[in-house]
Structure 1
């Protein structure tokens, strides 16, 4: 049951990203053809599959607590990085 819930939450979060990108493209009236959509889907699916396969392989050697700490740390570091980049752009734009 937990695996189904996890897969469902992952698919919802992935599709929410697609909705946001689709909305942004729609507002800008940018059209993506069927071939381009299929290529994007193929690349995304392949990337997801390879990431999940690598994750299963790494999980055999790494305790869950370590992977949780590493995952949380990476997300925090990325968040700090993007906030700092936004502040640098804001400061640069106000000085110009």
Structure 2
């Protein structure tokens, strides 16, 4: 692949995994363990979601050949980037209520990752890893869809996304207790990481316009 394509793959992988880093930090702060097997399950889900997203994007690219697919990819990444940034802002108190929809559950795990520790054992188990993996791999799915529209290599992006997923959770848990009190402006490290994920997608979208 061309250098520009590799850079796109790396940026998409980083964007897909930054939420994982924030989740890992949250677990590290709360002393919740994520073992090798659980982290591997989460990474495998990220791989699968990324592949599904990319091939779905390629299917759409075949329906909209030429520059149309690139325009759709750019618009898609831009919208997703804006939405991810908006997730960093907490909802107004008067509107805070339990949302049992799929989107509500996923957003709930991103805002409060400790909810994935269903049995409150202090360690993410097999089934909990599946639930958490699905919740935090949605970025890999949507990013993969945009990448498919840009004709990015499915295997390369999926493998790197899975590796970044594993590494970011491990690093986040390891650093969590040490950086618990660090803030960037009014944002915690986890919120800043999520916002950065959205900014990266906006950067890729703007690059495609050039």
Fold conserved between structures, TM > 0.5: yes
Which aligned pairs between 1:20-35 and structure 2 lie closer than 5 A?
A: 20-35=22-37
Q: How many residues align?
A: 89
Counterpart in the other structure of 1:86: 91
Following TM superposition, the consecutive aligned residue runs of length 4 or more in structure 1 with deviations greater than 3 angstroms are 66-76
Counterpart in the other structure of 2:103: none
Aligned residue for 2:53, secondary structure, equals helix
Q: Deviations over 1:16-69 (max 9, x none)?
A: 222111100000110122221111111111111111111112112122324433
TM-score by length of 2: 0.36
CA-based RMSD: 2.8
Structure 1: stretches of 5+ with no match in the other structure: none
Bigger relative contact order, structure 1 or 2, given CA contacts below 8 A and separation 6+? 2
Match of 2:20 among 2, 18, 21: 18
Counterpart in the other structure of 1:55: 57
CA distance in 2, matches of 1:30, 1:73: 33
Bigger Rg, structure 1 or 2: 1
Tell me which protein shows more helix as a share of its residues: 1
Counterpart in the other structure of 2:74: 68
